[in-house]
Chain A
Amino acid sequence: MNQYLLSVYEVEGEVDGAPLTPEEMQAFMGRVIALEEEMDRAGAFAYGGALHGPEAATVVRGGTGLDKVTTDGPFVEAKEHIGGFYIVNAGNLDEALTWAEKVVEATNHDIEVRPFRATGRLQAGPGH
């Protein structure tokens, strides 16, 4: 089993299809919850959720101690930012892409799919 990061991209100022009314918001949430339950049932849901916008982001740079610089704002100033993400378990890219299509349907946003490279605990396996 492999893991993939599904990044949900939002474009600043773009409101096409975004839920505006409380009813639309409710329908949106309903779709997302149904999808996450479907992922759960398939054993695909590792973690995921929506993020606050870039205005809530903080960047930490540099090494340790006095070199460390903490600043307000996102790492990259861009029109597009990650509005949320899922980490899914999938056997191969096609399975991950099938989940990505469902996330696109539920959220009406574009998705970038990236495979995890096994490092750290993921590589060492449980018990480390």
Chain B
Amino acid sequence: MDDVERVFREAHGRAVATLTGLFGDITLAEDAVQDSFVTALDRWPREGVPGNPAGWIVTTARNRAVDVVRRSRRGRELTEHIATDRLRAEPTAALEDPELVPDDQLRLVFTCCHPAIRLEHQVALTLRLIAGLTPAEVASAFLVSDETMAKRLVRAKFKIKAAHIPYRVPEAAELPGRLRAVLSVLYLVYNAGADDVGRRDLRAEAIRLTRVLVALMPDEPEAVGLLALMLLSDARMPARGDGACVVLLKDQDRSLWDHSLINDGQSLVLACMRRRRLGPFQLQAAIQALHCAAPRYEATDWPAIVRFYDRLLTVMPTPVVALNRAVAVAETEGPEAALLLLDGVADELKEYHLLHASRASMLERLGRPQEAAEAYDRAAAMARTDADVIFLSRRLAEFAVGHAGPPGRRGCLAGCGSVRG
């Protein structure tokens, strides 16, 4: 990504948020910001990048929006009634000061992630308006055509306008539920980048937006928990393979882990522990922090991990959490106990490839190769990413030639990754 593109991405959310605050119209704000980027692409190479590029974008977009509004008749009434006083009163310096406008960004995040908008539209809006991805980039991130994505964005923006979805941070009583929705959207964006190693930019955007959220709401421990979870997961990305094949946690070269990211993530987890308001994201981060603290796979503190999964299961009783807990139990009580737990959620997760991969791993360790091969087969048929398919097919091939692979390569895809669902 070149410098201009980086400036654009970082300025986009702030600029759209500020203009939406001024004009009360997301589409107008988005178009004006787009126009100011076009102007920047024309002028910056000739005249040099301004000292405060993001502030320049906001001011240029603001002036552009004022022009657009004045040109339309309806807009003239609008400016007379609502906007002009505020526009006149708003000194340019205030618009350009990054410290003075964060409230609008927060409002925009809560508007984009309003529960009255369907989830896939929430994600698309967040990537488009706050992360500043182009509609084509958002489309390719979710493997849909540009046309489909354009329709989604238009529909979502229409809903905001027609239903009068408010541009505000929810009040204290609603905040926990609404914040959870925002954090889930950011985690979805992160995971879209984690499922496909080539989409590093999506992970970086998710982390950047979560950092913004933490800075804006420093008293919300779940936001901190999500940031820690993302950093600890990102730290291990370099050891996860090149995207062509999955390298299991057990087999990862831990010297490839990014230890400065691990330190950052672990300090955030410790801060959360001291606050004693542990929610699902903080507990998942704590589990990842324990994985990252082990110098070798064999040195992992599995009893502590199982204890955190117990707590996670009480606040987030989903079958996927139960599956990950079962995989950890295999290390404390053995594969037989784990298999029993896995069979307990087999019905609900029968279409989830990691259930079958985990069962296969337990069956293999119990010396039941025939059933293990069947389970690997099912897992490979249901895997969602190419890397998972290749990994599982290889395990399957090892069975086909009549041996169960070297003992050191026993592993399981689940339990080392994220908890979703």
Contacts and interface: CB of A to CB of B under 8 A. Distances in A.
A93 interface: yes
A123 B387 CA distance: 57
Interface in B164-222: 164-166, 168, 170, 174
Contacts of B162: 115, 117
Contacts of A94: 165-166, 168, 170, 174
Interface residues of A, number: 9
B116 A92 contact: no
Give the secondary structure class of A's interface: mixed
B143 interface: no
A44 B114 CA distance: 23
Contacts of B168: 94
Interface residues of B, number: 10
A97 interface: yes
A124 to B, nearest CB: 15
A2 interface: yes
B163 interface: yes
Query: Which of B163, B165, B170, B174 has the most chain A CB atoms inside 10 A of its CB?
Result: B163
Contacts, number: 23
B162 to A, nearest CB: 6
Contacts of A93: 114, 116, 163-166
Contacts of B165: 92-94
Nearest to A116: B162
Interface string B95-118: 000000000000000000010100
B164 A115 contact: yes
Contacts of B163: 93, 113, 115
Contacts of A92: 164-166
Nearest to A4: B163
A2 B161 CA distance: 12
Nearest to B164: A92
Contacts of B164: 2, 91-93, 115
Nearest to A94: B166
Interface in A82-119: 91-94, 97, 113, 115, 117
B140 to A, nearest CB: 31
Contacts of A117: 162
10 tightest CB-CB pairs across the interface, nearest first? A92-B166, A92-B164, A93-B163, A115-B163, A93-B165, A2-B164, A94-B166, A93-B164, A115-B162, A93-B116
20 contacts: A2-B164, A91-B164, A91-B166, A92-B164, A92-B166, A93-B114, A93-B116, A93-B163, A93-B164, A93-B165, A93-B166, A94-B165, A94-B166, A94-B168, A94-B170, A94-B174, A97-B116, A115-B163, A115-B164, A117-B162
Interface of B: 114, 116, 162-166, 168, 170, 174
